[in-house]
Amino acid sequence: MDAGTVRGPHEGLGFRAFVGVIAALMATNALAVDAMLPALGQIGASLGLAAANERQWVVTSYLLGFGAAHIVYGTLADRYGRKKMVYVALGIYIVASVGAACARSFETMMLARVVEGIGAAGTRVLAVSIVRDCYAGRRMARVMSLSLLVFLGVPVLAPSVGQVIMFFVPWPWIFVFLAGFAAVVLVVIAWRLPETLHEADKRPIAFRGILQAARAIFSARVSVGYTLALSLVVGGMFGFINAAQQVFTDVFHQPRLFTVIFALIAGGIAVASLVNARLVDRLGSRKISHAAMLAFLVVAGLHFVVAVTGHDTVWRFTGLQVCMMFCFGLMIGNFGAMAMEPLGHIAGSAASIQGFFSTLLAALIGFGIGQQFDGTVVPLTAGFLGCGVVAVGVVVWAEGGRLFGVGEDGG
């Protein structure tokens, strides 16, 4: 089949509408992480949390559910079809979001968030699978690029959406909004999008393939190294997300600036992703990501010194965070791709395994960093620095003691 040939036409949806549906499906995850960040203080107070750091579980519990469920969706979607599994994933997400809105205890909220993460994991896995069913070659790359462009804008806007909702109604309505958004996406998919997996392409459930993929990953040093490095840098970002609301409220006393500054910081990742897309073919994954990793380490070290010496201000913090998130954006996609280099023959199962381990480990690292919050940004910057130092060591080990080399794909 020639590149760009439609493999499973999405009858009833034009190209732009198809891209919009895929982007919306992917956006359910980012909204669930970021939209309630401005409300964490009110959520903690409503649920009777004694310690401010306990409210970080609202983020971490979701991430744990999100990471754990990665391992099953791909296999189930190959057996039962994409559309049925989208119904399951969005149905779980909607029910859990309503449960979070109705939560009157910390335990109920945690359970709802874990289940919400389990549902959101399906939207991420299935979005990529649906695009792969319908397109190949450059046409597929174009769809994913356009979808990711929309997706990258969601973290920038999501906290502002949550803040606007709280101007008019209490925090539970943020979760009602999440349920409503997912319900609209579900209805559009049910109405307009056909099943994209051909009947002849359905495969029996074979969890043995997942075990084989796990063995392949853990026997390849490049895969292990870059999966760990990805977990470390994403863990640093999760640490920031966990503590961000406390930083701007308790350290800088600028809660009204939170959504604006969060948008600037998240924008650093979006810009980096666009820059990477333009440069990666010319420079290669290793040159870009290794340079970004070393720059991340330098900026993290500078930020740690600024914080320890007491010279941090809200705008210095913002500027340094934008720089670190820009470096982060140049690392994550390339680290993920390089971790897959030796695994092309089992790419689907390997991606599920990689998502499972990297997300769970990153969630735990991020929670550990966030829990050290003590009313200053010193623990947060120390967490960034520590993650950067270990990530460099892991990548050097993965590359056999050298950086800026050339991999199997020429990058």
Does one domain contain both 213 and 313?
yes
- The pLDDT value recorded for residue 82 is 85
Which of 240-249, 388-397, 402-411 has the weakest average pLDDT? 402-411
Between 251 and 203, where is the model more confident? Answer: 251
pLDDT in tens, 364-389: 999 999 999 999 999 999 999 999 99
Does one domain contain both 159 and 249?
no
Distances (CA, A) of 284 to 55, 202, 325: 41, 35, 20
| Cα 319 to Cα 316: distance, rounded to the nearest angstrom | 5
Considering 205, 237, 260, which residue would you say is the last residue of a domain? Answer: 205
Does one domain contain both 257 and 397?
yes
Does one domain contain both 143 and 36?
yes
What one-character DSSP code corresponds to residue 136?
-
Does one domain contain both 215 and 186?
no
Question: Band of the pLDDT at 7, cuts 50, 70, 90?
Answer: very low
| Cα 357 to Cα 214: distance, rounded to the nearest angstrom | 10
Does one domain contain both 289 and 336?
yes
User: Looking at the predicted structure, is the pLDDT value of residue 206 above 80?
Assistant: no
Is residue 70 assigned to a domain? yes
- The pLDDT value recorded for residue 272 is 86
User: Looking at the predicted structure, is the pLDDT value of residue 29 above 80?
Assistant: yes
Would you state the structure tokens that stand for residue 107, as one six-digit string? Answer: 């335990």
- The pLDDT value recorded for residue 71 is 82
Strand intervals (E) in 267-394: none
Question: Band of the pLDDT at 408, cuts 50, 70, 90?
Answer: low
* Cβ 93 vs Cβ 126: under 8 Å: no
Between 13 and 254, where is the model more confident? Answer: 254
Question: Band of the pLDDT at 2, cuts 50, 70, 90?
Answer: very low
| Cα 186 to Cα 88: distance, rounded to the nearest angstrom | 10
Q: Provide the 3-class DSSP secondary structure of residue 49.
A: coil
- The pLDDT value recorded for residue 3 is 40
* Cβ 269 vs Cβ 155: under 8 Å: yes
Does one domain contain both 183 and 241?
no
Does one domain contain both 107 and 211?
no
- The pLDDT value recorded for residue 6 is 41
Does one domain contain both 126 and 74?
yes
Considering 205, 230, 264, which residue would you say is the last residue of a domain? Answer: 205
Does one domain contain both 173 and 233?
no
- The pLDDT value recorded for residue 149 is 65
Residue 6's CB is within 10 A of a number of other CB atoms, namely: 12
Does one domain contain both 108 and 4?
yes
Does one domain contain both 218 and 301?
yes
Picking from 236, 387, 234, 256, the residue whose alpha carbon sits closest to that of residue 314 is: 256
User: Looking at the predicted structure, is the pLDDT value of residue 197 above 70?
Assistant: yes
Residue 390 structural domain: 207-406
Is residue 411 assigned to a domain? no
Considering 151, 176, 205, which residue would you say is the last residue of a domain? Answer: 205
- The pLDDT value recorded for residue 8 is 42
Amino acid (one-letter) located at 10 = H
The mean pLDDT of 214-229, rounded to a whole number, is 86
Question: Band of the pLDDT at 1, cuts 50, 70, 90?
Answer: very low
Which of 41-45, 156-160, 228-232, 371-375 has the weakest average pLDDT? 156-160
Mean per-residue pLDDT over the chain, rounded? 85
| Domain count of the fold of the chain | 2
User: Looking at the predicted structure, is the pLDDT value of residue 167 above 50?
Assistant: yes
CATH number, domain with residue 5:
1.20.1250.20
pLDDT in tens, 299-355: 999 999 999 999 999 999 999 999 999 998 888 878 887 887 776 556 556 777 778
User: Which residue is associated with the tokens 């995850």?
Assistant: 29
